[in-house]
């Protein structure tokens, strides 16, 4: 039986090879997974032209996935360096990579990335449009913008961020409700400016059906972008953000009617006490489509440490039902991240994702923690290193300060609670001041 997209196959009762791969990774019955894909509660981004892909699922009942952003810009246009970052991200088991390239040899970089990546690849075509055509923003036509989307689809991109929810109506609500940070989404700000300069509706909203034609043809998952996401905690959960979310919910149903898979993008900067409510809003207004968030970043005061502010919010969001976390690095708000920044961002986001999986009760998530606890109880240092999310850093810290008693560490030495409890429970003597018997 023929099918056009993963969702089309799922609705027809067909189990695709991508579904089999995801079900195996998630330890889930493949028939259950198929039902979730058919309902739009799980997406499997898998462009027909991405031949190297090792499929992943994002959504209800699955492990929280993470995304790594990279790409070339006018100030940093080293294709080889960005490909090196991509290889490192894949080595560190990031499930997705977003190419945010906006200048220079974007097509060369994108095709190389898709060709070598086993991870899901995403893009934001709006970023690429100005450089692709060498035209100023105002001079880009609707046909130009749609053509860039199709080019990315042809090149094998698995999901695309398309800011279809910032309509002229949304823009008016934004104007009437003053924000401290205005619009901070790069794609959202470009589209807002395009609409203002040309006195036209957002082409990604007005011609949404044409975008669906492209997505259906190549099986591209739509990541409906949050142009009005808050850029500081004072702007969160405001009328523009909620209005856009309502529109994205309507567009989700239109996409599903065409068997196009959908994720919804979300905030952004947000205080801790608003995160759970925002997850509930997205799941309700967007019909339980998978939710993809940046952070949320829970305080605005920590440039250089935003991988931490983001991981705090990400853990809470994942625990509340978010399905996909976009990493944030220590360089956020400051510069393009380097390899070390990227590693820090990946580790912090993976910690947040796993913490969320524990809270959600994802099948098998607790096993990793239990194995680590067993290794600690046995004072099995090599076992602990092998289980560590960053074994290199754990080994480095241990090697920098070795204790007199090799079974302990230099924090407690022979007063180590684990050591002493093991001994006393085995009926042995405890020597703290002297050598063991």
For 38-96, write each residue's pLDDT tens digit.
999 999 999 999 999 999 999 999 999 999 999 988 888 888 899 999 999 999 999 99
For 365-388, write each residue's pLDDT tens digit.
999 999 999 999 999 999 999 999
What single-letter DSSP state applies at residue 3?
-
Domain boundaries along the sequence of the chain: 41-360, 365-425
Torsion sign over Cα 91, 96, 100, 104: positive
User: C-alpha angle with apex 44: 43 to 50, nearest 5 degrees?
Assistant: 145
Q: Return the pLDDT at 437.
A: 59
Task: Specify burial of residue 392 (Cβ count, 10 A radius: 0-12, 13-18, 19+).
Answer: exposed
Question: Which residue numbers in the chain have pLDDT < 70?
Answer: 1, 436-437
Task: Encode burial over 300-317: b for 16+ CB neighbours within 10 A, e otherwise.
Answer: bebeeebbbbbbbbbbbb
pTM here is 0.96
Q: Return the pLDDT at 75.
A: 83
Instruction: Tell me if the domain spanning 41-360 has CATH number 3.40.50.970.
Output: no
């Amino acid at each position: 039986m023929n099918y056009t997209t993963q969702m089309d196959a799922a609705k027809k009762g067909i189990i695709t090879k991508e579904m089999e791969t995801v079900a195996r990774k998630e330890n889930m019955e493949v028939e259950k997974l198929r039902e979730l894909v058919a309902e739009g509660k799980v997406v499997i981004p898998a462009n027909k032209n991405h031949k190297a892909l090792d499929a992943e699922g994002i959504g209800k009942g699955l492990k929280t996935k993470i995304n790594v952003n990279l790409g070339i810009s006018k100030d940093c246009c080293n294709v080889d360096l960005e490909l090196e970052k991509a290889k490192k991200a894949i080595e560190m088991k990031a499930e997705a990579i977003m190419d945010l390239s906006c200048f220079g040899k974007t097509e060369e970089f994108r095709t190389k990335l898709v060709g070598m990546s086993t991870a899901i690849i995403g893009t934001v075509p709006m970023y690429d449009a100005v450089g692709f055509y060498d035209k100023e923003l105002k001079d880009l036509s609707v046909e130009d913008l749609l053509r860039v989307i199709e080019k990315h689809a042809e090149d094998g991109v698995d999901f695309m961020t398309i800011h279809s929810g910032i309509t002229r109506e949304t823009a008016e609500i934004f104007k009437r409700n003053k924000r401290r940070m205005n619009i901070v989404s790069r794609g959202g700000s470009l589209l807002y400016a395009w609409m203002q300069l040309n006195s036209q509706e957002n082409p990604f909203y007005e011609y949404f059906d044409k975008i669906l034609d492209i997505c259906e043809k190549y099986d591209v998952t739509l990541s409906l972008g949050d142009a009005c996401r808050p850029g500081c905690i004072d702007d969160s959960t405001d009328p523009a953000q909620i209005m856009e979310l309502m529109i994205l919910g309507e567009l989700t149903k239109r996409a599903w009617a065409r068997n196009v898979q959908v994720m919804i993008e979300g905030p952004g900067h947000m205080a801790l006490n608003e995160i759970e409510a925002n997850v509930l809003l997205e799941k309700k207004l967007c019909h339980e489509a998978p939710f993809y968030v940046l952070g949320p970043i829970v305080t605005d005061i920590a440039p250089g440490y935003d991988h931490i502010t983001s991981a705090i919010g990400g853990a809470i969001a994942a625990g509340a039902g978010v399905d996909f976390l976009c990493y944030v690095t220590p360089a956020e708000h400051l510069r393009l991240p380097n390899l070390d920044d990227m590693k820090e961002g990946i580790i912090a986001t993976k910690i947040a994702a796993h913490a969320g999986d524990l809270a959600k009760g994802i099948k098998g998530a607790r096993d990793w923690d239990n194995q680590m606890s067993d290794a600690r109880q046995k004072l099995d240092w090599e076992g602990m290193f092998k289980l560590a999310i960053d074994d290199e850093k754990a080994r480095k810290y241990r090697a920098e300060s070795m204790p007199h008693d090799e079974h302990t560490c230099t924090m407690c030495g022979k007063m180590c609670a684990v050591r002493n409890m093991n001994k006393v429970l085995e009926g042995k003597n405890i020597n703290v001041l002297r050598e063991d018997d």
